[in-house]
Amino acid sequence: MPLQLFIGNKNYSSWSMRPWVLMRQAGIPFDEVLIRFDSFEADSEFKRRAKAVNPLGKVPALVDEGFAVWDSLAIAEYLAERFPDKGLWPADARQRARARSVCAEMHSGFSALRNHCPMNIEASLSDTGALLWRDQAGLRADVARIEAMWGELLATQPADGLLFGGFTIADAFFAPVCTRIRTYGLPVSDTVRAYVDRVLALPGVKAWIGDALAERDFIDFDEPYRLRPATR
């Protein structure tokens, strides 16, 4: 039985994007099961379906022959052990530790970036981004940390321009950040901009973005900066 990956709407679900892109880019076969966001209330259809897979009632969740793994970082670790030939973490022990460190930092930090700039792939919100950049010191601090982190890592990598030389879990974890930088037109250095462009051009990332653009599913509670388009 193939692996199953349960995800939310591709336009909005940054947590779902990480393992999906990781598996697609690494060539790990899986069946996608999309659970549409309707509400996160306890009695919602989304919660009902998600809780049938894992006790938190959240996505993403990976199911391997009936065994469920939830949380994007736990899924990534499981896949790295399940498919050691895919090289999902760097081979060098210190580089592997550093990759885990930056993934954990992404997993638990950057709250201002996440809260003020929720992932919205099909939107173009540069005007909103400019206002947020002006008014939100926490957002500016988060982007400054990204500048420092990525700049340090990219300065030591070969010409492929990914964080650890070859696609790894770290690049998958920061793929949603790359979409946010583009959606909100956040001001970044040429080094960071070049990395964003490289990640968004990866086949696995392009496939996710293409699916997100095709959804055309406006979810009000994931749209803090736009109104639902008028229907005719």
Domain that includes residue 61, residue range: 3-86
φ, ψ (nearest 5 deg) of residue 137: -65, -35
Cα–Cα distance measured from residue 164 to residue 154, given in angstroms and rounded to the nearest whole number: 8
Q: Do 97 and 203 reside in the same domain of the chain?
A: yes
| Residue 176 and residue 14 in contact, taking contact as beta carbons nearer than 8 Å | yes
% of residues, the chain, pLDDT over 90: 94
Cα–Cα distance measured from residue 95 to residue 93, given in angstroms and rounded to the nearest whole number: 5
* CATH number of the domain encompassing residue 170: 1.20.1050.10
Q: Do 133 and 78 reside in the same domain of the chain?
A: no
pLDDT score of 231: 54
Beta bridge partners of 62: 5, 69
Question: How confident is the model over 62-94, as pLDDT tens digits?
Answer: 999 999 999 999 999 999 999 999 999 999 999
| Average pLDDT over the chain, rounded to an integer | 95
Total tally of structural domains belonging to the chain: 2
Q: Do 172 and 205 reside in the same domain of the chain?
A: yes
Comparing CA positions, the residue from 185, 187, 163 lying closest to residue 175 is 163
How many CB atoms within 10 Å of residue 97?
Answer: 11
pLDDT at residue 232 tops 50: no
* CATH number of the domain encompassing residue 80: 3.40.30.10
Q: Which of 86, 113, 142 is where one domain is finished? A: 86
Q: Which of 37, 53, 86 is where one domain is finished? A: 86
pLDDT score of 1: 78
How big is the chain by its Cα radius of gyration, in Å?
A: 17
